[in-house]
């Protein structure tokens, strides 16, 4: 099955983006997706909620569990995309479908066969954990090359929306294809460069943690995202204009998600104190493409970690990840749920 054109995907996006509470729509979409599958497909697409498979994730091209888009009928394909929309904003959905489409660019850039399974815009797998129709916790994920989303639902609330990963290879499409000029992570790149170059010399000594760029996001695909300490310049040490720039950058990441989920995460950050969030930088402070070029930065607070890295392919290959340091996978809330059940 061919991936639908991006414009058509966006035109058929539906109303899922605007709902105040995404949990009911998410539940209904998951049930509709599962109902559309035959028995064999359903076995492939489902696991028990407690299965360790829920924590098996990666952002490289590899064989994945779950049901990929390429093994779905057109109706099933649409049902899967409808589920995807329930957790994302229109901006986020557009980003994801653009990442799918970059596989078509890589087929050309790497001289892959047109029917390549290594580079394949339909090699993105959907998986449901647990029973969306029941009262117990359940979750779902979509995973493939450079794209991973995970949502955990308990009752009528989305408890967790991380980890999530979005990448772009190439960062900017430069070859002669219809997608030439496409830059999926343009805001994430430009806003961060503007912020680091707005810092004065004293602030830069704090913000720049390495003149040499890191070769990858530091937390990689670890189940638990841990960094030894917060580094860089804190929000409290920025002036008013810099704080506005920082918040705009932070919001660019949060705006990927459904509005309600983005607001939940921002409220959580404000609850612990924005002044406790740090911005750290490594590598070049000017945009550039070529050998030895690249940038890394992170936003690191008590509850949230965002990493950005652009080093591979001569600094034309972007990785970004969002981790909730207090509730990735919903594990902390789940533990409390089970404690309450067994009182």
DSSP H or E stretch at residue 208:
strand 208-210
The pLDDT value given to residue 19: 47
- Using a 10 angstrom Cβ sphere, with 0-12 exposed, 13-18 middle and 19 or more buried, the burial of residue 333 is middle
d(CA 65, CA 113): 23
The domain boundary, picked from 162, 196, 230, lies at 162
Does residue 46 share a domain with residue 120?
Answer: yes
- Are 42 and 81 members of one domain? yes
Rg (CA), the chain: 20
Query: Does 32 reside within a domain?
Result: yes
Asked if residue 206 and residue 99 are part of one domain, the reply reads no
Question: Which residue range forms the structural domain that includes residue 106?
Answer: 6-162
- Quick one: 147 and 227 in the same domain? no
- pTM, whole model, 2 decimals? 0.91
User: Into how many domains does the chain fold?
Assistant: 2
Residue 167 resides in a domain: no
63 and 147 in one domain? yes
Q: Is 310 in the same domain as 270?
A: yes
**pLDDT for position 343:** 54
Same domain, 222 and 113: no
- The answer to whether 253 and 92 have CB atoms below 8 angstroms apart is no
In a structure prediction context, what are the per-residue pLDDT tens digits for the chain, which is 343 residues long?
344 444 334 334 444 455 489 999 999 999 999 999 999 999 999 999 999 999 999 999 999 999 999 999 999 999 999 999 999 999 999 999 999 999 999 999 999 988 888 899 999 999 999 999 999 999 999 999 999 999 999 999 999 999 999 999 999 999 999 999 999 999 999 999 999 999 999 999 999 999 999 999 999 999 999 898 999 999 999 999 999 999 999 999 999 999 999 999 999 999 999 999 999 999 999 998 889 899 999 999 999 999 999 999 999 999 999 999 999 999 865 555 445 554 5
In a domain, 340, yes or no: no
- Give CA–CA dist 55/37, Å, rounded: 24
Tell whether 40 and 137 lie within a shared domain. Answer: yes
Domain assignment present for residue 246? The answer is yes
Are 99 and 108 a contacting pair, CB within 8 Å?
no
Residue 64 Cα distances to 43, 166, 247, 265, angstroms: 14, 17, 35, 29
Q: Tell me: do 117 and 230 sit in the same domain.
A: no
Query: What phi and psi values does residue 99 have, to the nearest 5 degrees?
Result: -65, -45
Same domain, residue pair 234 and 142:
no
Q: Is residue 84 part of a domain?
A: yes
In a domain, 221, yes or no: yes
Q: How far apart are CA 248 and CA 342, in angstroms?
A: 43
167: phi then psi, degrees, rounded to nearest 5: -130, 165
Same domain, residue pair 39 and 93: yes
What's the confidence (pLDDT) of residue 3? Answer: 45
> Do 30 and 158 belong to one domain?
yes
């Amino acid at each position: 099955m061919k991936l639908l054109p991006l414009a058509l995907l966006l035109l058929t996006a539906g109303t899922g983006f605007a709902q105040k509470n995404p949990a009911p729509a998410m539940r209904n979409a998951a049930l509709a997706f599962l109902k559309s599958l035959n028995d064999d497909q359903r076995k492939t697409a489902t696991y028990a909620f407690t299965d360790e498979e829920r924590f098996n994730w990666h952002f490289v091209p590899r064989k994945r569990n779950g049901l990929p888009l390429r093994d779905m009928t057109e109706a099933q394909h649409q049902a899967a995309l409808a589920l995807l929309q329930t957790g994302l904003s229109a901006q986020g959905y557009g980003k994801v479908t653009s990442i799918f489409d970059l596989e078509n660019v890589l087929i050309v850039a790497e001289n892959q066969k047109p029917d390549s399974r290594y580079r394949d815009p339909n090699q993105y797998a959907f998986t449901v954990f647990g029973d969306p129709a029941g009262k117990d916790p359940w979750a779902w994920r979509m995973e493939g090359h450079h794209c991973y989303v995970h949502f955990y639902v308990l009752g009528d609330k989305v408890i967790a929306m991380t980890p999530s990963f979005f990448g772009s290879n190439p960062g900017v499409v430069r070859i002669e294809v219809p997608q030439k000029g496409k830059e999926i992570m343009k805001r994430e790149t430009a806003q961060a460069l503007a912020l680091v170059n707005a810092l004065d010399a004293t602030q830069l000594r704090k913000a720049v943690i390495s003149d040499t760029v890191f070769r990858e996001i530091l937390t990689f695909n670890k189940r638990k995202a841990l960094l030894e300490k917060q580094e860089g310049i804190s929000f409290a040490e920025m002036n008013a204009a810099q704080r506005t720039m920082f918040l705009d950058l932070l919001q660019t990441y949060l705006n990927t998600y459904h509005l309600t989920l983005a607001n939940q995460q921002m409220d959580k950050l404000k609850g612990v104190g924005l002044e406790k969030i740090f911005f750290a930088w490594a590598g070049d402070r000017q945009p550039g493409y070529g050998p030895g070029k690249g940038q890394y930065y992170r936003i690191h607070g008590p509850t949230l970690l965002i990493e950005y890295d652009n080093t591979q392919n001569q600094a034309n290959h972007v990785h970004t990840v969002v981790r909730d340091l207090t509730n990735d996978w919903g594990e902390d809330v789940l533990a409390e749920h089970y404690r309450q059940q067994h009182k």
